[in-house]
Amino acid sequence: MLLVLLWIAFIFYNSSNNYVTSNQISFKFLNLLKNGKNLVLDKDVKVETNNKQIYLPTTTRDKKLNLFIRKNAHAFEYIIIAVLLSHMLIVHGMRGRDAIIYILFISLLFAVTDEFHQLFIPGRGSKVSDVIIDFGGTLIGLGSYYLFKFKLLNLKKPKVLN
């Protein structure tokens, strides 16, 4: 339960960042993917905002890569929440259809609440497409967890001969 709450807090923390800060974080990650070099920042335009200097991308390729990273981060957050919720419910004895319905409902409710929360963050907005991406992450996490837990782990159990 604690891990679920900590992960929810982490998601809300990320959603609380304004657009500029959120973009900077994803561009830092993009730079890490490019072997840790400032390949994006070397070509960027410097902008001043709130007495801070930020860098915005100038190439279409970097903008597309950044968008790809941002949308996948949405999905990844919900993959993790689905896995944590699945494990928590199984540990507490809930299985089957009831557990799946709870996980889907909680994740969808949280995704909608998170997008609503972003309406109040400067420079951020709420998008139905983000809720769909979040829910897609939930489905991937849920499917992965159940596949691993009930299919792959069952293959390792020794078969009893009669």
Express each pLDDT in 11-32 by its tens digit. Answer: 999 999 888 788 778 877 877 7
Confidence class for position 7, pLDDT limits 50, 70, 90: very high
Dist. CA 144–CA 120, nearest whole Å: 33
Dist. CA 41–CA 55, nearest whole Å: 6
N-terminal to C-terminal alpha carbon distance within the chain: 41
Comparing 2-6, 38-42, 63-67, which segment has the lowest mean pLDDT? 38-42
Amino acid 92: pLDDT: 92
Residue 146 has pLDDT above 60, yes or no: yes
Dist. CA 106–CA 56, nearest whole Å: 36
Most confident of 34-43, 46-55, 86-95, 145-154: 86-95
Listed in sequence order, the DSSP H helices in 17-152 are 19-33, 60-91, 96-118, 128-146
Confidence class for position 50, pLDDT limits 50, 70, 90: low
Dist. CA 98–CA 157, nearest whole Å: 26
